[in-house]
Structure formats: C-alpha cells, structure tokens
Amino acid sequence: MRLRLSTWARCLGLSALLSGALPGAGLAATVEVNPIRLELEGGAKGVVVTVRNQGTETTRFQASVHTWTQDEGGRMTLQPTQEVFFFPAMLTLEPGESRPIRVGISSAARNTERSFRLIVEELPPVGPLPPSMGLKILTRVSIPVFVAPTHRDVQARVEEVDLRDSHFQFRVRNPGTVNFFIRQARVRALDAQGQRVVEKEEPGWYVLPGNSRAFALGITAEHCQKVRSLEVEVETDQGVYRQSAPVGTRESCGVPVVP
C-alpha cells in the first residue's frame, strides 16, 4: 500500500501521524512511503520501506525508531530505542528518486506483540530558500512497526457501557496479544419502547495489547432524559464487537435526585 503526502490528511485515522503538512502559504515536500505499516518477525528477518521524493527539489530525510505506548485517549508516548535496527538513517533524494530503508529486529519473539514507530522526517534545506518559495514546511511521517508475538490472539471487549453526566461512556479493552484498529465506535440510545432517541459515532485508533480506549460522547439534556438503554457497536479491522446495557434516568443526566 502506498501513501502520498498530498492524500495523507484525508485518510481516516492516519492524519494524526503527520505533522507539518498543514494548508497555507508554505511549501512541503511531496513524499510517497510504501508500505505504511510494518510487521516484523523476531530473529533479524527484516522488511523494507521505500521512500520516494515526488517533489521537484532535492530533499534530505532522517529516519529514527521509537518505542510506542499510549494512554486511554489514544495519545502516544514515543521514546528512542536501539531495539529495532534500520539502515540508512539519512537519505538524500533527487526529484523522482526512491530509496529503501531496511528495518528489522534481532531479538526473539515474546508472548505479547511489541509496538514501535519508524519516523521519517524531512530535514531543512542546506542553503537559503529563494524568496519566491515562501515558507518551507518540513514533513514528518510516523509508521507503525509491530513485532509479532509467539502466539497471535486477537481479542476485543466492550465494557463499562453507561450514561453518566450526559455522556455515553464505554471502554474498548484489548486482552489479546496483538493490536487492533478501531475504525468506528457507534452508540445508539433507546427509549423505554426500544425506539432510537439518538445515535452518536466517533472514529477510533489503535488499541495495543493490554491497553484500552475510553470513549465519552456527549448528548443534549433533552435527549438524555429519554434514554433507557444503550447499544454500542465497535467496528475494528478484526471484526465488529457489540455490547448493550440499561441506564438510569435523572442521575445519568446530571440531575440531582430529590429524596
């Protein structure tokens, strides 16, 4: 699968991996990377990422690898690591030129999948820019790298479905050994007759092994007072998972209960 910089921001769930390519008066390199997700096996067997300069200027790039963790909101924490090897670390590409980056890991597989990020970022030009070029925006592409575990176990659970303080709340947990990607999370609120009151949806993100993703989707006070049950549907790249639950009334909408 190829990804061009010009289409990156339109890809659902991938726009957060790119920084610096924002609309405006500035110029950014047009870069193609292939593939946009890496799967490694333990034991030094490597894969190749191809970086291609689709622009009209000679462009320099720098590669680095980081461990990848994240919180329940999907916010990533990256730390430099030497556990994953790659070569080369520096690329200079002429217009239309492409070069491979070889990526691998020498350690043996573990019980749980390990997650990293390969970051390819554009370096500033060596010389000054012509005044006609305006502001130069440096691009940065972050590619997920997954190291396969000894045993692949895909699991996803939808838990803690509730309506609290006028918010649909639920958690998607990953008790398995490999990641999955939430394409869309959807909540249907039903009244006492089982009729739909309102439906809310939100795109998701990766859920790494042993982690969870928490959702809180707000609704109006008018709709909240009518809700008696919730149906949650989570569409992932590994399947669709569902859960339902009854809810309270006034307390769930932030209305105090009078004794």
pLDDT tens digits for the chain (259 residues)? 444 433 333 333 333 334 333 333 445 558 899 999 999 987 767 899 999 999 888 999 999 999 999 999 999 999 999 999 999 999 999 999 999 999 999 888 899 999 999 999 999 887 666 555 556 688 999 999 999 999 999 999 999 999 999 999 999 999 999 999 999 999 999 999 999 999 999 999 999 999 999 999 999 989 999 999 999 999 999 999 999 999 876 577 865 444 4
Predicted pLDDT of residue 125:
82
Q: Is the pTM of this model over 0.85?
A: no
Predicted pLDDT of residue 219:
92
* CA-CA-CA-CA torsion sign (207, 211, 217, 223): positive
Length, in residues, of the chain: 259
Cα separation, 13 vs 142, in Å, equals 12
Cα separation, 145 vs 39, in Å, equals 6
Architecture of domain 157-246: Sandwich (2.60)
CA angle 60, 41, 67 (to 5 degrees): 55
Helix (H, G, I), strand (E, B) or coil at 179: coil
Shortest CA distance to 57 belongs to which of 113, 136, 2?
A: 136
Residues 6+ apart with CB under 8 A from 53: 29, 30, 31, 59, 93, 94, 95, 96, 97, 98
Residues 6+ apart with CB under 8 A from 83: 65, 67, 105, 107, 114, 116
> How many alpha carbons lie under 13 Å from residue 216 in its C-beta half-sphere?
6
Cα separation, 168 vs 227, in Å, equals 10
What CATH class has 31-125+138-147?
A: mainly beta
Cα separation, 53 vs 33, in Å, equals 9
CA angle 78, 46, 5 (to 5 degrees): 55
Cα separation, 183 vs 90, in Å, equals 34
Q: What is the DSSP letter of 204?
A: -
Residues 6+ apart with CB under 8 A from 10: none
Shortest CA distance to 213 belongs to which of 257, 160, 252?
A: 160
Q: Decide whether 31-125+138-147 matches 157-246 in CATH topology.
A: yes
Predicted pLDDT of residue 257:
42
Predicted pLDDT of residue 134:
57
Predicted pLDDT of residue 133:
56
Predicted pLDDT of residue 2:
47
CA angle 103, 107, 109 (to 5 degrees): 100
**Would you kindly state where each structural domain of the chain is located, as residue ranges?**
31-125+138-147, 157-246
Q: How far is CA 87 from CA 39, 119, 145, in A?
A: 17, 13, 15
